[in-house]
Homo-oligomer: A and B are copies of this chain.
Amino acid sequence: MTAVTVVQCCAPITREPLSEPEASELATLLKAVADPVRLRLLSMIGSHAGGEACVCDLTGAFDLTAPTISHHLKILRTAGLIDGERRGTWVYYRIIPQTVNKLGALFAPLGAAAPAAGGPAPDTSPLRT
């Protein structure tokens, strides 16, 4: 699972018209992040110390039941935005930056140097602890 296909999928959206398949694929990815809970989950995981967060830390921040949180995490996982790993009793999630960068490239201004996705990337993980 979590097939990280680093495709050159996304020129900026203002560069050329998207084909139907491209648009459908990107819409699926965007639907995954177009939710307040999932957006917060993503940012909580991505900004957590060590680059990963335990589910037990996430659930407390919401007024939602555990199954609901699991549901949102699964959607993020299926979209290829996060990846989970079980260590002992707890499950830890971490961001898959390639997928997030796809979105960044899609909405990047035309003049941007697009530092990610197959280009002459100067640095992929600026913060690694």
Binding site for B on A (CB under 8 A): 13-18, 20, 23-24, 26-27, 30-31, 33-37, 39-40, 42-44, 46-47, 61, 95, 97, 100-101, 103-104, 106-112, 115-124, 126-127
Contacts and interface: CB of A to CB of B under 8 A. Distances in A.
B107 A127 contact: no
6 contacts: A15-B43, A18-B44, A23-B37, A101-B109, A104-B109, A107-B107
A101 B107 contact: yes
A126 B111 contact: yes
A99 to B, nearest CB: 9
Given A18-B40, A100-B107, A109-B117, 13 more contacts: A13-B47, A14-B46, A14-B97, A15-B46, A16-B47, A17-B47, A30-B30, A30-B33, A30-B39, A101-B107, A104-B107, A109-B115, A111-B120
B39 A35 contact: no
Nearest to A15: B47
A129 to B, nearest CB: 13
A120 B112 CA distance: 9
Contacts of A18: 39-40, 43-44
B108 A119 contact: no
